[in-house]
Each structure stands twice: as structure tokens, then as C-alpha cells.
Amino acid sequence: MTARTCLDCSTTITRHGKSGCCRPCAARRTHADPAFRARLEAASRAAKRSPASRARASEAALRTEAERRGDPAWHAYKVASGRRLRAEYDASPEAQLRNSAMRAAAGRKISDTRHAWCPIEYRPAYRAIRDKDVPAAEARRMVEELILADRAREAARFAALPLLERQLARVAAGAKVVPTFKPQFAGPSYTLGGVAPEAM
Ligand SMILES: [Zn+2]
């Protein structure tokens, strides 16, 4: 059996391996293979998920906490690592999407509560007035006047319409058409001694 040298370094290898490398180099090659690393990581994750290993990890964490309670350096480390994890999470696209959706929903809710007095269709007008630095109370008074004026104008316009158009406008606004009431004579169809009841 002739001595060979490792394919990756100058170490002499005495035994024939499939890889043609010394053991450390063979291991390095194996670990450089992405498929191998993926299998290793999957196995490691699966092992960490087992109830026994989770229980062991949580016991160890509690023990560490108990041992280091009151150690300022440990406390500082915990605070810093908490902040780091939080920052990492906040920077993730998922968190940003979630946070902006939550902020938008909260904003809408606050706006709806604060502007409950203002019909939705007048909100743009209110915002336009507020954008001109008019104080909120003054802007509200202006919008309420605008609403009253619009309603008065609408009522006057409606009153000026011919009857049929008023009725059509009501139907267009959602009113239901019902058959008009027709009284029906419910009395007997015979007469008493030749005298109709209507004639008595
Ligand atoms: Zn080697």
C-alpha cells in the first residue's frame, strides 16, 4: 500500500478513503456541500423541537436566570439582546407591513371617533379647512354650516319639483312603490226589501 498525500493539503494519508483527503479536509469538503448543510440544519431544528430538548433548554435557561439574578452585567446583556432582537424584528418586511397596517387601522379608528359628528362625505371639506390652519372647533362650525346650507338648498330644490318628479326622486332615493289603498265595499250584496243600505 503506497502512501499518498491529501488532495487538499500536504498531509500523508495511509488509508484509502473515497475522498482522497485527510480526515479534517474530507470533513471540510463535506460541510462545504450546501445539500449536506441543509440536511444537518434540518436535523438540528427537528432535534430542538422535541419536547424533551425543549424542556431541557427551558430548565437550563431558568437555572442561568436564577444564578445570574442581580448581576448588573447580565442584566445589561439581557436588555441589549432584547433590544437587538426587537430591532431585527422591526426591520423585517413582515413586521413593517404589520406595523403600518396596525398604525393605519388605529389612525382610522381615532379619526372616526374624533370626527363622528362629521358625515363621511364632508370629511374632505373638513380636512381642507383644517389644512389652512383653522382651529378644529372653528373648522367644525364651518362644516356644520356647510351641511345645513346644503340640506336647505336640497330641500328647496326638491320642493320646487313638480309632484311626479318629487315622487320619482323619492323612488330614486330608495322609497318603495306601494299600491294605493282602494276601499272595497264589504257589505252584503243583497238588499233589504228592495232598499239598498247606501240609500238608508
Ligand atoms: Zn488534508
pLDDT for the residue numbered 197: 55
pLDDT for the residue numbered 198: 60
Determine the distance separating the centroid of ligand 1 and the alpha carbon of 43, expressed in angstroms.
27
* C-alpha cell read off for 148: 345645513
Determine the distance separating the centroid of ligand 1 and the alpha carbon of 22, expressed in angstroms.
4
Determine the distance separating the centroid of ligand 1 and the alpha carbon of 39, expressed in angstroms.
24
Determine the distance separating the centroid of ligand 1 and the alpha carbon of 23, expressed in angstroms.
7
pLDDT for the residue numbered 187: 64
Instruction: Give the pLDDT confidence of 116-162 residue by residue, as tens digits.
Output: 899 989 999 999 999 999 999 999 999 999 999 999 998 888 888 88
**pLDDT profile of the chain (200 residues), mean per 10:** 80 78 91 94 90 92 89 91 92 88 89 88 93 94 95 88 84 81 67 60
pLDDT for the residue numbered 81: 94
The DSSP secondary-structure symbol of 2 reads -
* Alpha-carbon span 66 to 61, nearest angstrom: 9
* Alpha-carbon span 67 to 69, nearest angstrom: 6
Determine the distance separating the centroid of ligand 1 and the alpha carbon of 19, expressed in angstroms.
10
Determine the distance separating the centroid of ligand 1 and the alpha carbon of 186, expressed in angstroms.
115
> Strands 12-13 and 4-5, how do they pair?
antiparallel
Determine the distance separating the centroid of ligand 1 and the alpha carbon of 167, expressed in angstroms.
97
For CA atoms 63, 69, 75, 79, the dihedral sign is: positive
Instruction: Give the pLDDT confidence of 163-175 residue by residue, as tens digits.
Output: 888 888 888 888 8
Determine the distance separating the centroid of ligand 1 and the alpha carbon of 4, expressed in angstroms.
11
Whole-structure pTM value: 0.35
